[in-house]
Amino acid sequence: MRIIAGSCRGRKLKAVEGLKVRPTADKVKEAVFSAVNAYIYDCEFLDVFGGTGAMALEAVSRGAKEAVILEKDRDAQKTIIDNIALCGFAKKCVLLKGDSLQSLEKLGREKRQFDLIYVDPPYQAGLYQNVLEKIAAGNLLKKEGLILTETPREMEVLLDKVPFQIIKEKYYGICKISTLSWDIDAAIKEEQ
């Protein structure tokens, strides 16, 4: 596992020991960042389930102004801290320790907003809907921002309770990356 591009290109990152964390494959990570390249520079990036911190560190390496990483698991937290230090990004990365849903609520209370939000929970945890609801309720996505979800290939991201729309889906082996934005039509209907 490594940083693919930017100021830390080629830097090897530590992995979380055991099978608790499923890191995003380099091929998928490269495709994700190529697709949102125009959004990266000077953006505020949120990684909702940090794992190793690789996605947030990739964003900062490519020019993101700041990355906020949410992580509950203590071993993963230690790995994220080590990887932030390996990259020298202590001033650009913030790790919020604890439950991701509670951390999203906290960020909402603080009126934080992000240009890019990456959502890749444990596949079987059933958290996608709850996370999207918290993002919407907290108004965490900037007006022109994007949410990227990584799911198993066959999983559908349900949007019936949130004001987001899928604008693009790409398949990479066994996983799917969906790109979401605010659903302008849904917002207009709510105002009427």
pLDDT at 35 over 90: no
Burial 150-177 (b: 16+ CB within 10 A, else e): bbeeeeebebeebbbeeeeeeebeebbb
Residues 38-60 have a mean pLDDT of 96
In the chain, domain spans = 26-191
Its pTM stands at 0.92
Between 125 and 43, residue with greater pLDDT: 43
pLDDT in tens, 66-112: 999 999 999 999 999 999 999 999 999 999 999 999 999 999 999 99
70 burial via Cβ count (<10 Å: 0-12, 13-18, 19+): buried
Q: What's the pLDDT score for residue 192? A: 45
Distance, in Å, from the CA atom of 45 to the CA atom of 64, rounded to the nearest integer, reads: 7
pLDDT in tens, 93-106: 999 999 999 999 99
**Using alpha carbons only, how large is the chain's radius of gyration in Å?**
16
So what's the architecture of 26-191 in CATH?
3-Layer(aba) Sandwich (3.40)
Strands (E), 43-174: 44-47, 66-71, 93-97, 114-119, 141-152, 164-172
Share of the chain above pLDDT 70, in %: 93
pLDDT at 156 over 70: yes
